[in-house]
Structure 1
């Protein structure tokens, strides 16, 4: 009788351990899949970094071309009516960027039909990587406006914008 009770107790204990181990196998499997995905992403990121470091001329060409596109983008939207943004900016910016520009920034800046805006300053903050960060100043006879613009080299589009306040040399608003 004692032996059968001990045997039942041992079987229950082993069954509990077995169930716990099976449950941990599922959790470990999930962790393994996540680790493999992280490793794959890290390898891709490392490969991009390796490419940039091994071919600085290529990255310099990317930055030069991107700067021209960002300058053209800013000249286009600052000298066109807001209603035409979805058509004229379609290949230059992401849909999020166009919507943000149309709904947020354009109404806060007076883009008149008679005013002509120049782009006296396009400065790059970060020239390495697939996302380039620019500071762009747009200036007319009446006002100056500054934007922080993110350009994605892979997508070849402006992906993000924010308007900045100007103090100093470019601040000629009355």
Structure 2
């Protein structure tokens, strides 16, 4: 009789442990999925880093192509009328950047016709990651204008820009 009570107690104890463990399975599945997602992201980041480090020529070519696109972008918006921005800048910049250019960033020249801008300086501020940051100076006979431009290599377009004030060597003092 005593053995049967011990057996029943042991069975109830084991059943309680089994039920507790079964209740934890969904929580453990969530943790497993989260860990797999984190591992996948870490592997992707490691692969990107290894690619950049192991093939600097590839990264340099990548940056060179992006620099040419940014230079073309600045020449295009600097030397086109503001009304043509939606057509001429499509594909080169995000819609938000095109809207900002149309409203606020268009170079202002006090002459009756728009001056021609050259782009003598396109300097890279940050060459790592999917967003490249540039410092660009556009220069005309009347003024020089500096911009910081963010180019997204995944989207292959300018995603952000801001106009800077120039002091010193690029001021056209006449």
TM-score bracket relative to the smaller structure: 0.7 to 0.9
TM-score by length of 1: 0.77
Rounded to whole Å, the distance in 2 between the matches of 1:29 and 1:167 is: 59
Offset at 1:172? 2.5
Aligned to 2:108: 110
Offset at 1:83? 1.3
Aligned to 2:71: 71
SS in 2 for 1:114: coil
Gaps (5+ residues) in structure 1? 1-13
TM-score by length of 2: 0.77
Larger Rg: 2
Aligned to 1:123: 123
Kept in 1, the 8 Å contact 2:94–2:158? The answer is: yes
Offset at 1:26? 5.0
How many residue pairs were aligned? Answer: 161
Offset at 1:25? 5.5
4+ residue runs over 6 A deviation: none
Kept in 1, the 8 Å contact 2:117–2:140? The answer is: yes
> Mapping of 1:1-174 within 5 angstroms?
22=23, 26-106=26-106, 109-111=107-109, 113-172=113-172
Rounded to whole Å, the distance in 2 between the matches of 1:48 and 1:171 is: 41
CA 1:143–1:46 in 2, change beyond 3 Å: closer, same or farther? Answer: same
Offset at 1:139? 1.3
Gaps (5+ residues) in structure 2? 1-15
Aligned to 1:10: none
Offset at 1:150? 1.0
SS in 2 for 1:163: strand
Kept in 1, the 8 Å contact 2:79–2:114? The answer is: no
Rounded to whole Å, the distance in 2 between the matches of 1:48 and 1:31 is: 26
